[in-house]
Amino acid sequence: GQQLNQSPQSMFIQEGEDVSMNCTSSSIFNTWLWYKQDPGEGPVLLIALYKAGELTSNGRLTAQFGITRKDSFLNISASIPSDVGIYFCAGVIQGAQKLVFGQGTRLTINP
């Protein structure tokens, strides 16, 4: 069944705007990751988080591992056209060893 709730499902923004998306679950996670998928390609890892409260940046992207260990957030600052794509959160549930994915957030940018 669905273990990760990712929101929003889609976003339509203007170039230059900041973007926020998140993933929540009723389960406790040991690891959170954020991937981006372009059309016709596989997901590409953006940021990995391993500790509750951890805040990690990769260029204009910043992700946080929620204090409760049940959520994670991704922010993109000053969006540019190449940020268009589908962003997936993924996590490893405590006690498990496999990665589960959210449903994705489709980002569209108007120039």
Partner 1 sequence: EAGVAQSPRYKIIEKRQSVAFWCNPISGHATLYWYQQILGQGPKLLIQFQNNGVVDDSQLPKDRFSAERLKGVDSTLKIQPAKLEDSAVYLCASSLGAGDYGYTFGSGTRLTVV
Residue 76 CA neighbour count, 13 Å, CB half = 27
Rounded to a whole number of angstroms, the CA Rg of the chain reads 13
Contacts of partner 1 in 61-80 (CB under 8 A): none
Residue 92 in the binding site for partner 1 (CB under 8 A): yes
Is the CB of 30 or the CB of 62 nearer to partner 1?
30
Helix (H, G, I), strand (E, B) or coil at 81: helix
Task: Decide whether 3 or 77 has the Cβ nearer to partner 1.
Answer: 3
Candidates 57-65, 66-74, 76-84, 85-93; binding stretch for partner 1 (CB under 8 A): 85-93
C-beta of 14 vs 97, nearer to partner 1: 97
**Site residues (vs partner 1, CB under 8 A):** 4, 6, 31, 33, 40-45, 48, 88, 90, 92, 97-104
